Structure 1
Amino acid sequence: YGSPQTYKMSSQVRLRLLPSARCLYDEPVQVKVAGLKSRQLVTMRARLTDDKGVMFSSSATYRADGNGKIHLDRDPSLSGSYVGVEHMGLLWSMKPDTLHRYFHKSRILNPVMVMFSVHEEGDSKMLAEVTNERLLIGDGVSRILVEERNVCGVLYTPTGGGPFPAVLDLSSTRSEKRACLLANKGFVVLNLTLFTDKPSKIKEMHLDYFEEAVNFLKQHSKVGSKGIGVISRSKGGDIALSLAAFVPGVEAVVCINGCNANTAFPLYYKKRLILPPLSFDFKKFIPTESGAVIGMHVLDNPLAEENKDTLIPIERAKGHFLFVASEDDLNWDSKTYMDQMVERLKRHGKDNFESVCYPGAGHLLEPPYGPHCESCPHYLSDKPGMWGGESRSHAAAEVHMWKKIQEFFRTHLKAGHKATNHGTFLLKKKSL
């Protein structure tokens, strides 16, 4: 990525990002300060503006060592947005300048620009500043809009000829971040958005549409895996589970904070209703002082006798599952749903699954090193939703989960032969 970059605002203070000020979005950087006075107290800050113009920022107080140096991977924050040794704390602790805002990144070719700065104690005079250019798309990775038959999405392909393992990425609302970051790691990824219209206008969903996307990937010239992987979160999780249960060729499913029953809309396949929706009651939303609502108890009990037809028959799946659940999910009871899925598979004599649970994490688990979103507009409610999670625990969960997802897909989506340039990409500036 080139040599480390140093920016200084005074004759002495230097702020450096290692190994470089340019990196991929999901990579950590080392933040180091030198040239301060011995034991000097300073304020470190980070800020960025997302693609909707919302500013996110964080700050933390540090004390330099006897040589006037601060290393964020060694030295503790004494106060501010977080305390303790957190080498990427300035990133995950960033908060929006307006309530109920999510970090939006829709212009994928443009890097996320994070301004790191060091100030005299009290956050007054700036002593040094550096820009961290965090790229979402690596050199050689292509982004292509797909409109083939009924499939409408965005395809990311890695550099090189392949063959590569393939993943279908389902997102509730438009978000390509996870898809392009997986492509950087050597996967062909097709991103589909579940809700291309307002949910209030959607009467039913059809599994055939997602099956077409699976078949599109299977037939792609760069795809060499025996089957297709699927990754999704929330409502998309039950679509992913249904694909595994009903559609051939789905070999690996990552279900992040999903439900074990079909939710929100009737699900059809081959012109036949296969799963009615689990009922929900918006009157069970719990209001909070901030104006956002907690939805943990909105869904009916999927194990109740009257709801048994909504349960997804995951025991039919021939592929493998990775279930991910957050224990502080305020959107719905993800941990309970995961436990019920594990129990169902065990009852059917199945061992084709892994499960991982994260205490202190909230609903919106994403690729690491972005601002933790505690509340933002909910696509099924007219009020913002509370997503849960304690920022430090949530950030640690994202780091662990991101590595786990890649290992899971590499294990269960073996390509025809070893792909070239697998998982390693040089970076260059993309045109804006």
Structure 2
Amino acid sequence: MSNQVRLRLLPTARCLFDEPIQLKVAGLRSKQMVTMRARSTDEKGVVFSSSATYRADGSGEIDLSRDASLSGNYVGVEPMGLLWSMRPDILHKRFQKTNSLNPHVVNFSVHEEEGGMLAEVKNERFLMGDGVSRVPVKQGNIRGVLFTPPGEGPFPAVLDLYTFGGGLSEKRAALLASRGFLVLTVALYGHDDLPKNIKEVHLDYFEESIKFLKNQDKAGSNGVGVISLSKSGDLALSVASYLPGVQAVIWINGCSANVAFPLYYKNRQILSALKFDMNKVISTESGAIITKYGMHDPLKEENKASLVPIERASGRFLFVASEDDLNWDSKAYMNAMVDRLKRHGKENFESVSYPGAGHYLEPPFGPYCPSSFHAVTGVPVLWGGEPKAHAAAEVHLWRKIQEFFRTHLSCDKIKIKSKL
């Protein structure tokens, strides 16, 4: 390792997961060609890595916010390219960072063309900002984690449904709390003492979760926000359509109909399950399948009992669709919902779509996932998207999410709680 070459992370080597960093190299020879690398290990022990080739300027310096990668996992000026372009060393693995207590650690290094390391630096990317509290929730039927920002509040309250793969993910909830939201993330199955598998979903669980969230001392919004992704998108629609107290819903690459499991409320089925036809999947050479064309059409007469009656909702919707989603046709589902609301004279929605983005839109600067195991199909699936466009979509959407909730979950300046 060279004593002269310096690799720096600005403004600091410790930051939040969703914060950009500036990577700079100094002390190289004028116009020297080097390889920049990033390497990390996720919670499952899977190694993710990336590399890109750069040429130093006349002063022997490289600045990733200014200089273009000439080859490697990406080309062009991509300040965060080493992060989002990291790939797993095992095929069809999705980056797992669900526990908020430990940082995501990335080792950045700079190497000579022959491979020798010249310098390295460690980047610790935290999910929880300073002062954010994390409290596991096991009350009544609720199984989840409550994240509370530092300070007196009150704070906008958000229910995070994340995905429908079982278990509990804390990443998005912890980061939203770090940005000033009171967030409860809940698991529906596969966590704590919840069943490992389910055959039906009960809306009562989410009603209980909303009441719990609204009763928190620092919950300042009159109603709650709900944020979802994938299968939980239709659950978020149903929560907004059937339950009171929901002011704002973010639907990300979901379906317009209730998928896979019948939905019950007060022990009565309110929506049937839209089913999937495995005969319509497309196999690929990688061993992963494309499921986009396997869902039954929710607009056909025989499937309309699964459609969520979103015109019943009084809160605001933000519909988000990736145009290259290979899991299912999110863009078509979004367009159908927009048409449905317009037909009912509703204007309580906005929508955004991202060309070149795939199914899993998450908080920015994590490794892009082209394919991974799918809990429902039991085999790996292709999620779609082009890495650079997908990464840019995540940056834009993360800002959009926060703006939407701040706009539609306004808090009273002073929240008075009755005291006995």
TM-score, normalised with respect to structure 1: 0.93
Inter-partner Cα distance in structure 1 for 2:195 and 2:93 = 20
Which amino acid in 1 is paired with 2:378? D
Shift of 1:106: 3.2
Q: Is 2:116 the counterpart of 1:125?
A: yes
Cα deviation per residue 1:69-127 (whole Å; 9 max; x = unaligned)?
Answer: 101011000000000000000000000000011111133211111001000014x1100
Aligned length: 410
Equivalent residue for 2:189, pick from 195, 200, 205: 195
Q: Is 2:99 the counterpart of 1:103?
A: no
Aligned to 2:253: 257
Inter-partner Cα distance in structure 1 for 2:239 and 2:359 = 22
Equivalent residue for 2:280, pick from 281, 284, 293: 284
Shift of 1:418: 7.7
Q: Residue 318 of structure 2: SS of its match in structure 1? A: strand
Q: 1:231-246, aligned counterparts within 5 Å?
A: 231-246=227-242
Shift of 1:12: 1.4
Inter-partner Cα distance in structure 2 for 1:183 and 1:99 = 33
Equivalent residue for 1:359, pick from 355, 359, 373: 355
Shift of 1:287: 1.2
Inter-partner Cα distance in structure 2 for 1:30 and 1:353 = 36
Which amino acid in 2 is paired with 1:232? S
Inter-partner Cα distance in structure 1 for 2:324 and 2:125 = 29
Aligned to 1:424: none
CA contact (8 A) 1:47 1:56 kept: yes
Inter-partner Cα distance in structure 2 for 1:178 and 1:201 = 23
Aligned to 2:27: 35
Which shows bigger deviation, 208-217 or 281-290? 281-290
Shift of 1:11: 2.6
Aligned to 2:293: 297
CA contact (8 A) 1:199 1:379 kept: no
Aligned to 1:145: 136
Aligned to 1:379: 375
Q: Residue 224 of structure 1: SS of its match in structure 2? A: coil
Q: Residue 225 of structure 1: SS of its match in structure 2? A: coil
Aligned to 2:173: 179
Shift of 1:200: 8.8
Q: Flag structure 1 segments of 5+ consecutive residues without an equivalent.
A: 1-8, 420-432
Inter-partner Cα distance in structure 2 for 1:33 and 1:341 = 49
CA contact (8 A) 2:99 2:170 kept: no
Aligned to 1:312: 308
Shift of 1:199: 9.5
Aligned to 2:364: 368
Q: Residue 143 of structure 1: SS of its match in structure 2? A: strand
Aligned to 2:409: 413
Equivalent residue for 1:222, pick from 218, 223, 241: 218
Which shows bigger deviation, 171-180 or 36-45? 171-180
Q: Is 2:63 the counterpart of 1:71?
A: yes
Inter-partner Cα distance in structure 1 for 2:79 and 2:237 = 36
Inter-partner Cα distance in structure 2 for 1:354 and 1:290 = 37
Shift of 1:201: 3.8
Structure 1 segments, 4+ long, off by >6 Å, are: 197-200
Inter-partner Cα distance in structure 1 for 2:199 and 2:86 = 38
Q: Residue 76 of structure 2: SS of its match in structure 1? A: coil
Inter-partner Cα distance in structure 1 for 2:45 and 2:136 = 25
Which amino acid in 2 is paired with 1:362? G
Inter-partner Cα distance in structure 2 for 1:194 and 1:392 = 33
Which amino acid in 1 is paired with 2:157? A
CA distance 1:209–1:152, change in 2 (3 Å):
same
Aligned to 1:430: none
CA contact (8 A) 1:194 1:236 kept: no
CA contact (8 A) 2:225 2:246 kept: yes
The alignment yields a C-alpha RMSD, in angstroms, of 1.4
Inter-partner Cα distance in structure 2 for 1:120 and 1:363 = 37
Which amino acid in 1 is paired with 2:22? Q
Sequence identity percentage? 67
Aligned to 2:418: none
